[in-house]
Amino acid sequence: MTGTWRHLPAAAREIAVAASDAVAAAQARDAGAYEPAVDRLTGVDRAGLVLGGVVRLLLEETHPDGLDGDDVRQVLERCVRDVAAWRPDVDPHVLLVLLASALGVYDPGDDDTPPDPAAIARHAPLLVADLLAASGRPVSGYLTTAFAEVARTELHD
Given a cut of 90, whether residue 28 has pLDDT beyond it is: yes
Distance CA 137, CA 10 (A): 25
Report the pLDDT value the prediction gives residue 1, as an integer from 0 to 100: 41
Could you tell me the pTM of the whole model? 0.90
Work out the widest C-alpha separation in the chain, in whole angstroms: 45
* Amino acid type, 148: A
Full DSSP string of 62-82: H-TT---HHHHHHHHHHHHHH
Read off the pLDDT of residues 52-71 as tens digits, 9 standing for 90 and up: 999 999 999 999 998 899 99
Full DSSP string of 82-105: HHHTT-TT--HHHHHHHHHHHTT-
Report the pLDDT value the prediction gives residue 111, as an integer from 0 to 100: 63
Burial 50-64 (b: 16+ CB within 10 A, else e): bbbbbbbbbbeebbe
User: How far is CA 152 from its chain centroid?
Assistant: 19
What residue ranges do the domains of the chain occupy?
8-156
User: How far is CA 6 from its chain centroid?
Assistant: 21
pLDDT band (50, 70, 90) for residue 2: very low
